[in-house]
Amino acid sequence: MSEKPENAPEHCPGTESEDAGKSSACQGCPNQNICSSAKPKGPDPDLAVIQERLSSVKHKILVLSGKGGVGKSTVTSMLARGLALDDNLQVGILDVDICGPSIPRVMGLEGEQVHQSGSGWSPVYVEDNLGVMSAGFLLSSPDDAIIWRGPKKNGLIKQFLRDVDWEDTNYLVIDTPPGTSDEHLSVVQYLQNAVIDGAVIVTTPQEVSLMDVRKEINFCKKVKLPIIGVIENMSGFICPSCKNESQIFPPTTGGAEKMAEDMKVPFLGKLPLDPRIGKCCDEGTSFFEEFPDSPAVTSYQQIIKGIRRYCNEDDHMDTS
């Protein structure tokens, strides 16, 4: 991508070009000295550091949406907790939602702070095999706001990827804010040398959500990020009194399953709207432990199986 400053001549090669400051068109340009004396742009050295740091993390999964409030953080925490039920797995959650970090509350870690060790930043551990890192741990009060423009957010994300010591981790689940902007570009860019297994895309059934999610899917395709699959969350509400189902968020255009089919991406499953899930998120407790017989638990377990299968974990799959 070449940037042409406003005062540049007509055939300016662009400030990022190798010919910057050196081409015949540069003669007489007020920026010529700056461009010609700039050091040649090499690859960002931090990319190699990040690659090295994350080489001990076997599988990296991004949880994306495009639409806000569909349950990315909920799904991230449930996937991570569900994976961590297998004692053989070491699981991590990285929360790169810098302005709205929900993960500390959802994981029952509000008020925790980040600790530095000789080997870097230590995640905060919920269980022995489940560690968490979030911008929320950098805030001293729940009212503190991170009011940062893009470049500063990118800096923190890079630091998270470079400096957090995950040790040997089987699954790192990365929670993101909604959208297709700085945070998403940065994560993909900084992880370009480390392998991301893929993205899990979360949506709710209605078209107002699907509209944004189609954009997110196209973003993934644009940056060549593999898509593990789409999850339809808040898919039907069962009244606790009469047990009839209501579609609070009606799938007026066919819901996520049809959208996934149209966009030729896998569909991982549906999750029902169970008020007890929200309550566990508010209280920071594990829905798997509190309500193991809920239909939502079965749905999550199926989805986790699908993800593990995608990540080629066949030797650890149980046959039930």
Partner 1 sequence: MDLDNNLKSVKHKIVILSGKGGVGKSTVATQIALSLKQQGLKVGVLDVDLCGPSIPRMLNVEDKDIHQSSQGWVPVYPDPSQTLAVMSIAFLLNKKDDPVVWRGPKKNAMIKQFLSDVVWGDLDYLIIDTPPGTSDEHITVVEGLQGYNPDGVVLVTTPQAVAVGDVRRELTFCRKTKLPVLGVVENMSGFVCPHCAECSNVFSKGGGEALAREFNIPFLGCVPLDPQLSECLENGQSFVEAFSSSPSAQILNKIAETLHQRTAMNGSIS
Residues that bind partner 1 (CB under 8 A): 66-70, 73, 99-100, 102, 105-106, 142-151, 153, 177-182, 184-185, 204, 206-208, 211-212, 214-216, 218-219, 222-223, 237, 239-242, 244, 246-250, 252-253, 273, 275, 278-279, 281-282
Q: Residue 242 burial (CB < 10 Å; 0-12/13-18/19+)?
A: exposed
Please, what sign has the CA dihedral across residues 71, 158, 168, 51? positive
Please, what sign has the CA dihedral across residues 152, 155, 161, 165? negative
H or E element, residue 37: helix 32-37
First to last CA, the chain: 52
Q: Which 8-state DSSP code applies to residue 168?
A: S
Distance CA 65, CA 262 (A): 17
If the CB atoms of residues 196 and 307 are measured against partner 1, the closer one turns out to be: 196
If the CB atoms of residues 58 and 258 are measured against partner 1, the closer one turns out to be: 258
The Cα diameter of the chain in Å comes to 80
Tell me the closest approach of the beta carbon of residue 195 to partner 1, in angstroms: 22
Distance CA 222, CA 216 (A): 10
Q: Are 2 and 16 in contact (CB under 8 A)?
A: yes
If the CB atoms of residues 57 and 296 are measured against partner 1, the closer one turns out to be: 296
Tell me the closest approach of the beta carbon of residue 11 to partner 1, in angstroms: 24
Distance CA 170, CA 182 (A): 27
| Size (the chain), residues | 320
Tell me the closest approach of the beta carbon of residue 288 to partner 1, in angstroms: 18
Task: Fill in the amino acid letter for 247.
Answer: Q
If the CB atoms of residues 99 and 317 are measured against partner 1, the closer one turns out to be: 99
Tell me the closest approach of the beta carbon of residue 137 to partner 1, in angstroms: 14
If the CB atoms of residues 148 and 267 are measured against partner 1, the closer one turns out to be: 148
If the CB atoms of residues 254 and 292 are measured against partner 1, the closer one turns out to be: 254
Place of tokens 């890192």: 133
Helices and strands in the chain: count of H runs, count of E runs: 11, 12
If the CB atoms of residues 285 and 301 are measured against partner 1, the closer one turns out to be: 285
Q: Residue 183 burial (CB < 10 Å; 0-12/13-18/19+)?
A: buried
If the CB atoms of residues 9 and 272 are measured against partner 1, the closer one turns out to be: 272
Task: Fill in the amino acid letter for 287.
Answer: F
Tell me the closest approach of the beta carbon of residue 132 to partner 1, in angstroms: 15
Tell me the closest approach of the beta carbon of residue 199 to partner 1, in angstroms: 13
Distance CA 314, CA 169 (A): 17
If the CB atoms of residues 32 and 73 are measured against partner 1, the closer one turns out to be: 73
Tell me the closest approach of the beta carbon of residue 161 to partner 1, in angstroms: 17
Contacts of 231 by beta carbon, 8 Å cutoff, 6+ apart: 75, 200, 201, 202, 203, 256, 268, 269, 270, 271, 303
Tell me the closest approach of the beta carbon of residue 166 to partner 1, in angstroms: 25
Tell me the closest approach of the beta carbon of residue 249 to partner 1, in angstroms: 6
